[in-house]
Structure 1
């Protein structure tokens, strides 16, 4: 007969030798630090308290005792029913604290100054819980941290980028090498959308026109160009004084670089077609590099056509227009710059591939068009065709 012990050994074998013990996970140093911080007793207490008296109730008792002695109308606290120790820790005290859901005892002093807590508690002379039961709770007003005021900067919706010629590489602008001297020498020249005057200064120095005017819609860019012009004029005057060139004719001196330069702030796009009747011929050559896209996005199809018509009327008979239009693919990148630009972009029907045929049509009137070059550039977006349009020499519109 099998005993009870044998049955238990058969059905429940000894598990001590077969138990698989799982390795105990070691706590990381970070977890140990966090646990130590949670269990750590705060060192700094509010109201000048300590570990035995965190809220510094003894100070409140002393304060109330002083108030009862000084004023006869103050409430009398019965000392017969209280058992006080030498420190007075067992004495009942009424405390009115500003409520805080996160920190009811207001022990967290990390986010507030100690000076702000000196007046947070008070002991009214005749105060009971019933008197404050009906009063609405007044929560402390926390000052909002003032954010840094960001400077309101308008988007360069007219193509008036401050660092534009940083992308263009002004010292290696391939477009300038295809310009010919005969188009500018001893002539009246206009640079539309001159920006800070990179192309304007180059033409004035290397081709010596009688006068070249740089026009841009952005006043800040014009001021930068004028500042550069002023520095170059001062340098030229100093050189002339050192070379004793006072005997030269002033009229010839004004036609030489940098005295043949002028910059002005102007929106070259007219408000309506009626104003085109007041435009008179003033220039032999007009340069419009990388301007058409910004005119198109800000003033639409009609504004760009009005822009082309004004250029035609501003030229003398036989005058030249050197045009570098941006392709339609570059429009897409700037279509969301402003809300107005987005709306105008969605309504554009006059595409850049139609510019040449429009300028040669009877609506504008240019006689011929030739492709000067497609300058190379490290950025494919700047590899654009440069066109030369010539106005008929027998034109009598102006």
Structure 2
């Protein structure tokens, strides 16, 4: 059952669930195959990071330089910090000669001896802080559409918006979605990528069912922008042009590049 903002607990967009930490997210595999080196050594923002699985995989498995995960639900950020501590504790520490080895120690070692890196590290939302220690992942809770003291002053190479656009649209309406796309554009470096997992209009209609998010019923009637027909033009107006897409999974993944 969805929460107020559609923030499903442990949602990862595709099975297996986020709790299966040894299985890499297929969406990330598709993106890495479609645009080689899209993640390696990049500074990445994961909007709607949920319990942190994608953000952590980007840093540990896809070799991102630094990852920032943001979610509107502070409870999910707590989960994300715990998952980060778990996976970081299972890796060998990096040295001046050798990179870390991910998932080196068995889960039993953490259960027996505890975390090597404790969860709930003090959140610092700057790229320099994120690159100061390994793993270079930070989380914070916010509605990223709205101005915040935690807005990054640095820009990103990649912004991910996976299975979150629908909820932003329903919460903030057409004007808020336009603001969101404009903020994504201004937060990207030239040549950077915005990745959207497209939620079609029929999924909007399913979202307002009684057992999901019925409080958005009236909002849905006000929306004029449609994901299938309006988003490409709206993004192009903000300097973001469709450069790649994939239909390998049930939801299309679109990649837009900043001119």
Match of 1:384 among 246, 251, 256: 251
SS at match of 1:316: strand
Q: Shift of the alpha carbon at 1:279?
A: 7.5
Say whether 1:268 aligns with 2:144.
yes
| Alpha carbons of structure 1 residues 305 and 279: separation in structure 2 relative to 1, 3 Å | farther
CA–CA distance in structure 1, aligned partners of residues 28 and 64 of structure 2: 15
Which residue matches 1:226? 81
Q: Shift of the alpha carbon at 1:357?
A: 1.4
Structure with the largest fraction of strand: 2
**Runs of 5+ consecutive residues of structure 2 not aligned to the other structure:** 18-22, 100-129
| Alpha carbons of structure 1 residues 318 and 166: separation in structure 2 relative to 1, 3 Å | closer
Q: Shift of the alpha carbon at 1:261?
A: 1.2
Rg comparison, structure with higher value? 1
Which residue matches 1:117? none
CA–CA distance in structure 2, aligned partners of residues 329 and 166 of structure 1: 17
Match of 1:341 among 197, 207, 216: 216
Q: Shift of the alpha carbon at 1:338?
A: 4.9
Per chain length, whose mean CA-contact separation is higher, i.e. which structure has more relative contact order (CA < 8 Å, sep 6+)? 2
Say whether the 8 Å CA contact 2:13–2:163 is kept in structure 1: no
Compute the TM-score of the two structures, normalised by the length of structure 1.
Answer: 0.49
Compute the TM-score of the two structures, normalised by the length of structure 2.
Answer: 0.73
Which residue matches 2:163? 290
Q: Shift of the alpha carbon at 1:168?
A: 3.1
Match of 2:28 among 148, 151, 176: 176
SS at match of 1:200: helix
Say whether 1:319 aligns with 2:192.
yes
Count matched residues.
216
SS at match of 1:191: strand
**Runs of 5+ consecutive residues of structure 1 not aligned to the other structure:** 1-153, 377-382, 393-398
Match of 1:204 among 53, 59, 63: 59
CA–CA distance in structure 1, aligned partners of residues 242 and 167 of structure 2: 22
Q: Shift of the alpha carbon at 1:233?
A: 3.0
